[in-house]
Amino acid sequence: MTEDVQLVQQCLSGNELSMRAFLSKYQGLVFSICLRMLGHREDAEDVAQDALVRVFRNLDKWDQQRPIKPWLLTIAANRCRTALEKRSKLPAQNDLAIDLAAERREHSRHEQDQLDIGEELELALGELREDYRTCFVMYHQEELSYQEIGEVLGCPQGTIKTWLHRARAQLAKRLQERGVVADPSALEAT
Amino acid sequence: MNCQEVKEQLDAALDDQRVVSGQFDVVRDADVVAHAESCPDCRVLYDEYLLIESALAVWVPRRPAVDLTDRVIEAARREGLISSTGSAVFGKVDEVGKVDGAVPRAGRLTSGDEPFFLAGTQATPAAGRSVWPTIVTVALVLAAVAIVFQEKPGTIAHREKTPQLSVPDSPPGLLDPRQDQVADIGHLVADAQSAWRGIANRVSHQASGFSVFVPNFTSELGIADVIGSADDNSGSASPDDDAQRQETSQPSAVDKAFEFLFDKAEPAGTLTI
């Protein structure tokens, strides 16, 4: 019996401590994907809370033979899409991008230096289309497979591959537009 | 190597990159590099690949700190997803688990919530407090009753605990054989009387619905005294006195018994035997 299965079974018995442990383990994942998709922290908190309550409500429906991560992300993504449909307009700028921009100004003021290429990638991510961004994050950050992302987002694998390829291409162009160049030392280090 | 093969190889290399687990597979194939040097379109693709590759290599994905625990637990409690007894509540959300008086308030527990205390790794709601005093009280009462009955004379526990007085067996030489005979005959008469009364009562009751009164001639004839004295004197009385007493009492008791049975049985009640 895996650790997740044991934890879920304790949650199913209504054990509050186990539910808190479950939240401690997975709320960051759910909130992260909500923030990536919605681009607004307060909205992301509300939707993540809603998603996590739905997780507890439907915990008995999780197939314990399969990993729980894609199942959690599916619920979170569905709630985010519902929230996006209700939203009359998308936020003009991503919260993460705002934070990074502020950091960049602060950093430039003191260090007069260039942002790290990883931070530039984070900034560029915030400017991507929502589905491209979600697809990129699920693949490279959460390390889901094409099939799992397809199940989470309700799309064929071919669509996921296309979105991921376009996401990379757009990120590269945005990085180039910012004057970011490939750092050979980073590749050598790996 | 053509452009399509270069494109597929670059995509496959990026597919293999996983940031968290740190897997990177940089394309250093000489054919790819040579083709990119000679093909402007593939050169663009190769540059983009190198840029993304190096960005992913140093990218630390942001996972913003957040603590929704209390908010989610509160919402789950309102929906009855947290059991008050530790048993499964899923599927009965609408019927059970409602917290009376709980005012939804994000971020912290409300004053109307039940406090929890911990028992090992399990959380037991305060409702359990109303059960434990009862269990402890019952246990104390049972323990007190057990102690009282343990000490009360006549109980099994008391008999088991009470040391039995040991009566030494009488030396065979000190006991007059006639005393044994008297005692045996007396017991025999008493047993016969008891059996007789039982049989008479049962037969008459089954035959006519009447019960028969048969006098207890054992006491009437003084047989009980004979038996008692024989029992009492066995092994402890003076041999001379006992012998004299039993010599006079034994024949008369037996004679009286049989005389009573066959000649002096008087009717009692409504049926005479």
Do the beta carbons of residue A131 and residue A153 sit within 8 Å?
yes
Asked if the Cβ–Cβ distance from B69 to A24 is below 8 Å, we say yes
Confidence bin at A162 (pLDDT 50/70/90): very high
* Domains, chain A: 3-86 (1.10.1740.10), 95-180 (1.10.10.10)
Count Cβ–Cβ pairs < 8 Å, chain A vs chain B: 161
Position B197, amino acid: R
pLDDT mean over A130-134: 91
Long-range contacts of A125-130 (CB under 8 A, 24+ apart): A125/A36, A125/A96, A125/A171, A126/A39, A126/A93, A126/A94, A126/A96, A126/A97, A126/A100, A127/A94, A127/A97, A127/A174, A128/A167, A128/A170, A128/A171, A129/A170, A130/A37, A130/A39, A130/A84, A130/A90
Chain B neighbors of A120, CB-CB under 8 A: 55
Whether A20 sits inside 8 A of B52 (CB atoms) is: no
Mean pLDDT value of segment A148-170: 92
DSSP A62: S
Residue B123 main-chain phi, psi, to 5 deg = -100, 125
pLDDT in tens, A69-112: 999 999 999 999 899 888 755 555 555 665 655 555 555 544 44
Cα-Cα end-to-end distance for chain A: 35
Average per-residue pLDDT in chain A? 83
Region class of B100: left (phi > 0), else alpha (psi between -120 and 50), else beta: beta
Burial string for B46-79 (b: 16+ CB within 10 Å, else e) reads: bebbbbbbbbbbbbebbeeebebbebbbbbbbbb
- Best residue of B68, B95, B108, B116 to probe chain A, by most A CBs closer than 10 Å: B68
DSSP conformation letters of A107-137: HHHHH--PPPHHHHHHHHHTTS-HHHHHHHI
Q: Please list the helix, strand and coil fractions of chain A in percent, rounded to the nearest 5, in that order.
A: 75, 0, 25
- Examine the pLDDT at A181 and tell me if it is beyond 70: yes
**Contact check, Cβ <8 Å, A187/B50:** yes
Report which of B86, B67, B82 is spatially closest to residue A57, judged by C-alpha positions: B82
Using alpha carbons, select from B108, B51, B47, B43 the residue that is nearest to residue B77.
B108
Which of B81, B84, B89, B105 has the most A C-beta neighbours within 10 Å, making it the best mutation to test the interface with A?
B81
Q: Angle formed by the axes of helices A157-177 and B40-58, to 10°?
A: 90
pLDDT digits (tens, 9 = 90+) for B114-169: 333 333 333 444 444 456 778 888 888 898 888 877 655 555 555 555 555 555 55
Treating both helix axes as pointing N-terminal to C-terminal, what angle do B40-58 and B3-15 enclose, rounded to 10 degrees?
A: 10
The closest alpha carbon to B224, from B179, B186, B265, B260, belongs to B186
Min Cα–Cα distance to chain B from A89, Å: 24
Of B18, B49, B89, the CB nearest to A14: B89
> Residue B235 and residue B168: Cα distance in Å, rounded?
9
Name A161's Cβ contacts closer than 8 Å, sequence gap at least 6. Answer: A146
Domain ranges of chain B: 3-58, 69-128, 132-161, 174-262
Tokens of A36: 């990536």
Given a cut of 90, is residue A47 above it in pLDDT?
Answer: yes
Q: Specify the 3-state DSSP secondary structure of B119.
A: strand
pLDDT digits (tens, 9 = 90+) for B202-226: 777 766 665 555 555 555 555 555 4
**Which residues on neighbouring strands pair with residue B18, listed in sequence order?**
B23
What count of Cα atoms within 13 Å lies in the side-chain half-sphere of residue A71? 16
**Non-local CB neighbours of B67 within 8 Å, separated by 6+ positions:** A27
Per mean pLDDT, which range of B118-127, B176-185, B257-266 is the poorest?
B118-127
Kind and range of the H or E run holding A29? helix A16-38
Q: Give CA–CA dist A183/B47, Å, rounded.
A: 11
Q: How many CA atoms does the CB half-sphere of B261 hold within 13 Å?
A: 13
Rounded to the nearest 5 percent, the helix, strand and coil shares of chain B are 55, 5, 40
